Amino acid sequence: QKEVEQNSGPLSVPEGAIASLNCTYSDRGSQSFFWYRQYSGKSPELIMSIYSNGDKEDGRFTAQLNKASQYVSLLIRDSQPSDSATYLCALHTGTASKLTFGTGTRLQVTL
């Protein structure tokens, strides 16, 4: 079982819709969770971090964490063509542990 699992996509949503990106993980000891965005040909950039169960909102982005279900998600409201990118889920099992990435989900926002 992979440490971090994501559907590779592509996930296609129309402009203005809500995009829902999901991630599951295997290590129940995981403590910190992150969403990175990677445009084609560019490096990943951090967009959200979440450390406790529940929702965390930042502008059009909402991260959701459910440690009991080992599930973390990212919602993008009012999707824009500029949101088209690969979204990488990452996690830490502790502050001195390795930072592990999933394979990423490619999002396409269509006009």
- Encoded one letter per residue, x for contact with other proteins by CB under 8 A and - for no contact, window 28-57 reads ----x-x--------xxxx--x-x------
Considering the rule CB under 8 A, would residue 22 count as an interface residue with other proteins?
A: no
| Contact between 99 and other proteins per CB under 8 A | yes
Of the pair 51, 81, the CB lying nearest other proteins is at 51
CB atoms within 10 A of CB 72: 26
19 binds other proteins (CB under 8 A): no
Helix, strand, coil percent content, the chain, rounded in steps of 5: 5, 55, 45
> Between 35 and 76, whose beta carbon lies closer to other proteins?
35
* Alpha carbon separation from 66 to 51, 56, 86 (Å, rounded): 10, 12, 22
What angle (nearest 5°) sits at the alpha carbon of residue 95, between those of residues 30 and 105?
50
The nearest distance, CB 54 to other proteins, in angstroms, is 18
